[in-house]
Structures are given as structure tokens and as C-alpha cells.
């Protein structure tokens, strides 16, 4: 199963960049996208190329994953809107991107 997911991740990353897609969330694609779109303000995961530039940064995704309300559904819903703090550089996400990132974040909890 992991090998199959790995093979799919490359394909999914291309699809995510263009149009949405039907089917299950792809946490590997979510991680890749978040490393580009969110890492300026958040610790997204291990081996992040650079620390967040924003000071203070937003909460680390490792910490977000530990919050009791942070189910995949809650996160996908949260991510489908602009951040409540009014940060206007938060990018608009497709439903598929929000779902991919939400699933990626919930997987950080299991790896804690
Ligand atoms: C311009 C800076 C900035 C960017 C870009 C940004 N965030 Fe945030 N984010 C914040 C700040 C600051 C907070 C905490 C304050 C708030 O909620 O507005 C936050 C809060 C959050 C939370 C809520 C944590 C919680 O449990 O309350 C999540 C989830 C989140 N961000 C995910 C993301 C994702 C995913 C991306 C990329 C698609 C992203 N953020 C991009 C600054 C940013």
C-alpha cells in the first residue's frame, strides 16, 4: 500500500496543481503543497527547507495535530476559508487541496 501511494503522489501533485479531482485525499500531495504555500508562516513538517519568516509564526502543524478539535473534517473546513486573523497572504485552496493538507496534518498526530 505505501508503495502504491508513493507512485500515485507524483501524479496527484500534477493534478492538484491544475484542476481538482475526485477520490480520496492525498496527504503526500498535501505536504508538498503546504511546504510551498504554508511554510512561510508555519512549521509544516520534518526536513522543512527553511524556518517560517513570519514572526511570530503561526502554530506548528505538529501542535495543530494535537488539538482535540483537529479532525480531518474540521481542518478541511478551516482551511477552505481565509485565516480568521486576516492574513491576506493565505492562499485560496481548492477543496481537494484543503482535504489533502487536512489529512496530512492528522497523520502528524499519529507520528508524534
Ligand atoms: C501569512 C502567514 C500564514 C500563511 C501563509 C498560512 N498561515 Fe496558517 N496561520 C497563520 C497564523 C498567524 C495563525 C494563527 C492565527 C490565526 O488563526 O489567524 C494560523 C493558523 C492556522 C491554523 C489553525 C491552527 C489552530 O488549530 O487554531 C491552521 C490549521 C493553519 N493555519 C493552516 C495553514 C495552512 C494549511 C496554510 C497553507 C495553505 C497556512 N496556514 C498558511 C499564518 C499563516
**Cα separation, 24 vs 35, whole angstroms:** 20
Q: 76 lies in a domain?
A: yes
In this prediction, residue 13 carries a pLDDT of 53
- The answer to whether the CB of 55 is under 6 A from ligand 1 is no
> From the CB of 37, is ligand 1 less than 6 Å away?
yes
Phi/psi for 18 (5° steps) reads -100, -85
- Establish if 67 belongs to a structural domain: yes
Q: Looking at the domain assignment, is residue 103 inside a domain?
A: yes
Q: So what's the pLDDT on residue 90?
A: 84
At 87 the pLDDT is 66
Q: Which one is predicted more confidently, 50 or 4?
A: 50
Is 57's C-beta closer than 6 angstroms to any atom of ligand 1? no
The DSSP code for 85 is: T
In a domain, 29, yes or no: no
Q: pLDDT-derived band of residue 4, with 50, 70 and 90 as boundaries?
A: low
> 53 preceded by cis ω (within 30°)?
no
Residue having the nearest C-alpha atom to atom 40 of ligand 1:
38
Distances (CA, A) of 76 to 3, 64, 72, 79, 96: 26, 13, 6, 5, 9
Q: pLDDT tens digits, residue range 24-75?
A: 899 999 999 999 999 999 999 999 999 999 999 999 999 999 999 999 999 9
Q: Between these two residues, 81 and 59, which has the higher pLDDT value?
A: 59
Q: Residue 78 C-alpha to ligand 1 middle, in angstroms? A: 9
Q: What's the chain's average pLDDT? A: 84
For residue 39, the enclosing domain spans 34-45+56-84+93-112
> How many domains does one find in the chain?
1
CA of 53 to the centre of ligand 1 (A): 13
> Domain for residue 80, yes or no?
yes
Nearest to 11 by CA among 24, 1, 26: 26
Orientation of helix 72-79 relative to helix 95-111, angle to 10°: 140
- Does residue 77 lie in a domain region? yes
Domain assignment present for residue 72? The answer is: yes
How many angstroms separate the alpha carbon of residue 1 from the centre of ligand 1?
A: 31
Is residue 22 situated within a structural domain? no
Cell numbers representing residue 101 in the block = 493538507
Report if pTM > 0.75. Answer: yes
Amino acid at each position: 500500500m505505501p508503495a502504491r501511494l508513493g507512485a500515485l503522489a507524483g501524479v496527484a501533485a500534477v493534478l492538484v496543481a491544475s484542476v481538482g479531482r475526485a477520490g480520496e485525499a492525498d496527504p503526500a500531495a498535501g505536504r508538498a503543497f503546504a511546504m510551498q504555500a504554508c511554510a512561510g508562516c508555519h512549521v509544516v513538517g520534518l526536513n522543512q527547507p527553511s524556518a517560517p519568516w513570519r514572526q511570530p509564526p503561526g502554530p506548528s502543524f505538529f501542535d495543530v495535530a494535537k488539538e482535540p478539535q483537529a479532525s480531518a473534517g474540521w481542518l478541511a473546513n478551516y482551511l477552505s476559508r481565509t485565516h480568521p486573523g486576516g492574513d491576506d497572504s493565505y492562499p485560496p485552496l481548492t477543496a481537494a487541496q484543503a482535504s489533502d493538507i487536512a489529512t496530512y496534518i492528522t497523520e502528524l498526530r499519529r507520528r508524534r
